[in-house]
Amino acid sequence: MRYLEPHAHMVSRVTDDYQDMVTAGCMAVCEPAFWAGYDRSSVAGFHDYFCQLTDYEPRRAAKFGLPHYCWLCLNPKESEDVVFAQEVLAILPGFLGRPNVLGIGEIGLNKNSRNELKVLEQHVDLAARHQQLILVHTPHLEDKHKGTRLTLDVLRADSRIRPERVIIDHVEEHTVQMVLDAGFWAGMTLYPETKCTPARAIDILDRYGPERLWLNSACDWGVSVPLIVPRTGLEMRRRGHRPEAVDRVLYQNPVEFLSQCPKFKLS
């Protein structure tokens, strides 16, 4: 089985995870910028993090023969202070030209606050001005439906944004349809308990078909499973999906979306 891991926070994983992913057939890993588990206290903290994602982490992955790509942004959890957010956004364009940067992400909303919305709009503007792909994080549980709707409103209000160049991640049963209907891509994040379990994700695939959908583990410092994407591929096979259908969702779909960025190449 070959697969792509389009959303993984490798800075919080050990090198054994890289080895396991390559052994399981991973062809590339993509790492969106996110919260560090604590709020960074300065712009310099973000500068160092962006260097880690564009320099150190790709070199660590390369030791295991795995291409590493990333997405850059100020994450929603830290966008409450709009002045600070603007300072971080000001250094971001300086990193967009680095060879493993795919676009702006994971931006979005956490608590659906007014300030988060303001910073989301600024990120969307930045992506439009620099012709970047966009990866969107959607809020958890009770905030998800409203947060997804608000995010789609922001994206649709900007006429420069083409929906086929945006992926809305962490969709669930109650949000996937509005994302796909609006022409965006949708990501299903496989967590052992919260977000989507493999069984629920396969139910969604059975209901909506594979078009514009991908799977990811979002593995980070919390309870998460770096190999849950290939394991879901095995579960698809067990439930009667053909090998080509598994390959489409686990490999071809993410390659199709990510190849819209000319920097994304598989050897």
Q: Which is nearer to Zn ion, 96 or 218 (CB)?
A: 218
- Residue 196 near residue 172 (C-beta atoms within 8 A): yes
Q: How many CB atoms lie within 10 A of CB 39?
A: 13
Q: Give least dist CB 140 to Zn ion, A.
A: 12
Residue with tokens 């052992």: 192
Q: Give least dist CB 168 to Zn ion, A.
A: 13
Q: How many residues bind Zn ion (CB under 5 A)?
A: 2
Q: Is 218 in the site for Zn ion (CB under 5 A)?
A: yes
Q: Which is nearer to Zn ion, 34 or 264 (CB)?
A: 34
Q: Give least dist CB 209 to Zn ion, A.
A: 25
- Residue 122 near residue 156 (C-beta atoms within 8 A): no
- CA-nearest of 154, 184, 181, 192 to 167 is 184
Q: Which is nearer to Zn ion, 61 or 246 (CB)?
A: 61
Stretch that binds Zn ion, among 28-36, 51-59, 82-90, 125-133 (CB under 5 A): 28-36
Preceding peptide of 106 cis, ω within 30°: yes
Question: Using CA atoms, how far apart are residues 137 and 9, in angstroms rounded to an integer?
Answer: 13
Strand order in the sheet with 185-189: 3-5, 26-32, 68-72, 101-108, 133-137, 166-168, 185-189, 213-216
Q: Is 214 in the site for Zn ion (CB under 5 A)?
A: no
Q: Give least dist CB 189 to Zn ion, A.
A: 8
Determine which residue in the list 18, 34, 46, 50 makes contact with Zn ion, applying CB under 5 A: 34
Q: Is 101 in the site for Zn ion (CB under 5 A)?
A: no
Stretch that binds Zn ion, among 34-42, 114-122, 199-207, 227-235 (CB under 5 A): 34-42
- Strand, helix or coil for residue 138: coil
Q: Which two tokens stand for residue 261?
A: 């960025």
Q: Give least dist CB 137 to Zn ion, A.
A: 6
Q: Which is nearer to Zn ion, 201 or 218 (CB)?
A: 218
Please give the residue ranges that form the binding site for Zn ion (CB under 5 A): 34, 218
